[in-house]
Structure 1
Amino acid sequence: FNGSMNDGYSYNPLTLPSYATNITAAGLPASTETYFDINNAIYNISYGQQYTVYLPNGTYFLSGFSLVSPQVEFVPSTYMGKLLLTDGSFQALGPVMNITLRYEEYVNLTVTERGLPAGTQWGFSVPAAGEGFELASDNISMFLPAGQEYEIIPQSVSGYYSSPLDIGPLYSPGTATLTYSRLPTSISGNFTVIFSESGLAGGTVWKIQIGQQTFSTTNSTMAIYGFENGNYSYSIVPVAGYRAVQSGYLYIDNGNGTVAVTFVKTSAGADQAVYIALSLIGGVAIGSVAVYGLMRRRT
């Protein structure tokens, strides 16, 4: 046998056919550069551009890089067309694949408190974001999706009250302050009364006096915490251009309650009827004499 054992063999490496996978990024500020990872190989891409990777058919994992700064974050999700790739995995099947990194902007919101003694445990929740915090420091920062409205609901603190805050739409970093006011010494229990107004123009300041303490808000609701069982008198501070019941009594008997105050615009020569509704929470009565009171005035 005079032939060679190597005859008929090639030493060139086996090459698998590769197909184009086009990657684009959306939702970033113009000219922003970002990065993505495909099976531990890192590539860079700029907003508005397309990066093409040639891949043999198979299974791959793609993840985008979050862009983080002290005030703004851009967080990516991976889409193939309208399909969200939850874990970033996809099948390259050729001949052309198109994948988009869609970035969502998050902005920093710092929530701080005012009025509590140093070291007091306090907290709040942001239902729209599914977030809640308890802390002893005077502030905390969080990142929330931009462009949405949020309500910040304070946690009750014995002997103090604070009203919910409405924030938004949130387009830029900012600060929200929950102001706690000390309740009169006669109000230091564990029950809550929520005063709810209707009839005022949005953003109008309205006030309630209980004992020597005045509580105010521009929101439509005002939660006052720390009531003990017993009788309390309150008064509604007049608002220019409106009428409302000027005073009333609360009877707390082992439960929380709500008081609804209706403001009516004054109108010369009109017969004004102003109502205050006293309601129940958990079947516990709150109110002085009746569940519903009426005061009639004539201008």
Structure 2
Amino acid sequence: MNLPRISLLPTFLRELLSDQTLPREPEPDAIMEDVDQVAAFSETGRAESTLAASYLFHTARASQALQGCKRVVDLGCGPATQLIQIASINPEIEFVGVDMSQEMLRHARAHADEAGVRNVSFMTGDITKLDAFEPQSVDGVISTVSLHHLPTAGHLEGCFREIQRILKPGGALYLADFGRLKSLKSVIFFAYMNRDRDPHQLLLDYERSLRAAFLLSDFQKLAKGFLDGAVNVFSTFKVPLLIVLKTPDKELPAEKIAILNRMRDGLNPRFKYDLDDMRTFFKLGGLKNDVFH
């Protein structure tokens, strides 16, 4: 969101004052198995881009929820760019990345090897049918910007049902994804607002993701129906461009807070601006306990 905030005002007002008119458009399945598409997705996500801010935000927030966990499952890990960053901050936790795409997992394993991260393993699996996991067998479940890839609302419900099944009582949860906007004009605005600095493939992926997003009310309903009452649902202020479902924060060790703040300090200034925007809009949406200085 690296642009004067006043330029957000027309879109902000449109979303506040309009009725929901944008239908959901699921993403094409073929994208996640196409060798060239997956390579482009993986490389773009690890290149210098606005995603750097998003990754660091979710790493900090997920880490706050996961303290004390021993085994955590990442649903829809993709090429594991986000997962590897979270795992590197939390070396005492064993992480298992699950994804249906063999090609995505090939990139994920290569990235883990290259990064030297040893507390991560991967398995092929459907996140709506987690048959490889016994009931109440994991301490935590995370998913970062992957749930919108599910084909239907029924699949999303199936995923929540599986989370409920495999998570231990009192287990940790951090789910983050896009929320569906009301207007196509808003989708185009947000998807291409950084067209002067992000590669076209990233912008196109962003547009597809926003078109495929579920509603904030979908997540609220499923959280109430399947997850423990301790799970809270947050969104960016007034306009649910981003949504987070999480269990209460646990105190981060001082050394982890220091690492996260060094990572923030090391960001390109424009990406630091993006991170601070995310922090602000989520804080206004009720998400507290920010670890960044």
TM-score range, shorter chain: under 0.3
Q: By percentage of residues, which structure has more strand? A: 1
User: TM-score scaled to structure 2, two decimals?
Assistant: 0.24
Q: By percentage of residues, which structure has more helix? A: 2
- Who wins on radius of gyration, i.e. which is larger? 1
Compare relative contact order (CA 8 Å, sep 6+) and give the higher one, 1 or 2: 2
